């Protein structure tokens, strides 16, 4: 029965999570296409064999397919779901059909349709966070030690993983941001740290150790405790007004975007290990862990976080991704001429190869990570 339990805690939440995010993304493309008069021929959640579907009065075929690892919107006049090629028979369509065909639209309309997917991912995250902040309160990372930096100040005095920091220099610690603040305010180089270890209160005098960190894109040295936060959210029941909640959700969304871009930049420049890059398997593992150990609030917050990442990644200027289309349409708008079809085809081939290589690398990282988790 263990396989059944694992399927409930890992496979089912993952399919629900990915299905919702893919639907939101593709619905963004779909809605903008409808509003601009472009015919959507297919709206699919998943790839491969159709399991279920129907055709609406606008002749759009809605379907759920066997491989739940993505989805697509295909428009009238496109030869494929990625809009990489136009149907050879577009020129033979009637005048009425050409008005609704994607390849016959202006670059401005195409740009709006392409941006609809990532835009809806961001909007979905903002809606999730706004509702959470207004109805339940804000969320923070609790002051629980998720990891101890090797050779750091905390490790030297005996602070260990899962210790809960409850007080620093006589000031109560409510979340992990308070830890950073109080350590920065320590004046004599020694922090008085009180922790809760399985109900036992232990006090440490910690001589802080100067360590290098990145701040606003620059490396700085400052005294640090040498601990990392645990990746679990904690809810502060203090509710915000709807306006305050909306503003805070926009701020959080922006901060998540900036941090993600900074992390990608650090991987590219070698300042951060590329082994941290995860793929589908890592997402399934994380969604399963959250559904197993935490509640629905953490799962919904995780969904909002992933929605931001999905929107952001799709904006990367790589052909095949939405961002690649954005670059192409912007070039066409500026140059006032359409890019040669052969050039587009070669760009999409390169983009597909890059995405495939990245997926293979991320999957390899996921497999190594799982092996270390269960067998190391």
Using alpha carbons, list the distances in angstroms from residue 181 to 12, 173, 251, 256, 266: 40, 10, 20, 20, 24
The DSSP code for 179 is H
Concatenated DSSP letters of 312-328: HHHTSS-TTSHHHHHHH
Secondary structure (3-state) at 74: strand
Name the catalytic one among 26, 167, 182, 234.
26
- Residue 73, H or E segment: strand 61-75
Report angle CA 220, 308, 145 to the nearest 5 degrees: 50
Q: Supply 281's token pair.
A: 């398997």
Distance CA 39, CA 53 (A): 18
Share in percent of the chain as helix, strand, coil (round to 5)? 55, 20, 25
Secondary structure (3-state) at 27: helix
Contact, 333 vs 111, CB < 8 A? yes
Phi and psi torsions of 164, nearest 5°: -100, 120
Cα 258 to chain centroid distance, Å, stands at 12
Q: Supply 375's token pair.
A: 């067998």
Contact, 170 vs 203, CB < 8 A? no
Distance CA 182, CA 307 (A): 33
To the query of whether residue 172 is one of the catalytic residues in this protein, the response is no
| Dihedral sign from CA coordinates of 46, 50, 52, 54 | positive
Concatenated DSSP letters of 231-275: S--EEE--PPPHHHHHHHHHHHHHHHHHHHHHHHHHHHHTSS-GG
Q: Supply 1's token pair.
A: 């029965």
| Residues forming the active site | 26
């Amino acid at each position: 029965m263990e396989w059944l339990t694992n399927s409930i805690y890992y496979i089912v939440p993952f399919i629900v999570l990915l299905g919702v995010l893919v639907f939101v993304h593709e619905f963004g493309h779909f809605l903008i296409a409808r509003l601009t008069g472009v015919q959507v021929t297919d709206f699919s959640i998943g790839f491969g064999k159709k399991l279920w579907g129907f055709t609406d009065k606008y002749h759009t075929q809605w379907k759920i397919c066997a491989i739940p690892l993505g989805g697509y919107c295909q428009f009238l006049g496109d030869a494929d779901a990625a809009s990489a090629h136009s149907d050879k028979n577009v020129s033979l369509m009637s005048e009425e059909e050409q008005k609704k065909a994607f390849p016959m639209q202006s670059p401005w309309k195409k740009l709006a349709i392409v941006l609809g997917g990532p835009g809806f991912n961001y909007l979905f995250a903002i809606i999730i966070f706004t509702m959470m902040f207004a109805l339940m309160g804000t969320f923070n990372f609790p002051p629980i030690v998720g990891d101890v930096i090797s050779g750091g100040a905390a490790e030297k005095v005996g602070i260990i993983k899962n210790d809960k920091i409850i007080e620093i220099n006589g000031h109560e610690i409510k979340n992990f941001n308070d830890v950073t603040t109080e350590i920065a305010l320590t004046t004599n180089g020694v922090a008085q740290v009180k922790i809760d270890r399985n109900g036992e209160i232990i006090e440490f005098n910690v001589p802080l150790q100067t360590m290098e960190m990145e701040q606003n894109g620059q490396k700085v040295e400052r005294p640090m405790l040498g601990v990392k936060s645990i990746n679990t959210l904690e809810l502060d029941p203090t509710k915000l007004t709807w306006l305050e909640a909306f503003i805070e959700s926009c701020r959080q969304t922006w901060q998540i975007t900036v941090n993600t871009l900074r992390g990608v930049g650090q991987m590219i420049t070698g300042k951060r290990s590329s082994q941290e890059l995860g793929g589908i398997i890592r997402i399934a593992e994380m969604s399963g862990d959250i559904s197993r150990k935490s509640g629905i609030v953490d799962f919904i917050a995780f969904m909002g976080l992933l929605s931001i990442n999905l929107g952001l990644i799709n904006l990367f200027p790589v052909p095949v991704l939405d961002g690649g289309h954005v670059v192409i349409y912007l070039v066409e708008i500026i140059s006032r001429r359409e890019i040669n079809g052969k050039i587009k085809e070669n760009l999409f081939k390169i983009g597909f190869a890059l995405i495939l290589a990245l997926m293979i690398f991320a999957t390899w990282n996921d497999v190594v990570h799982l092996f270390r988790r269960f067998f190391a």
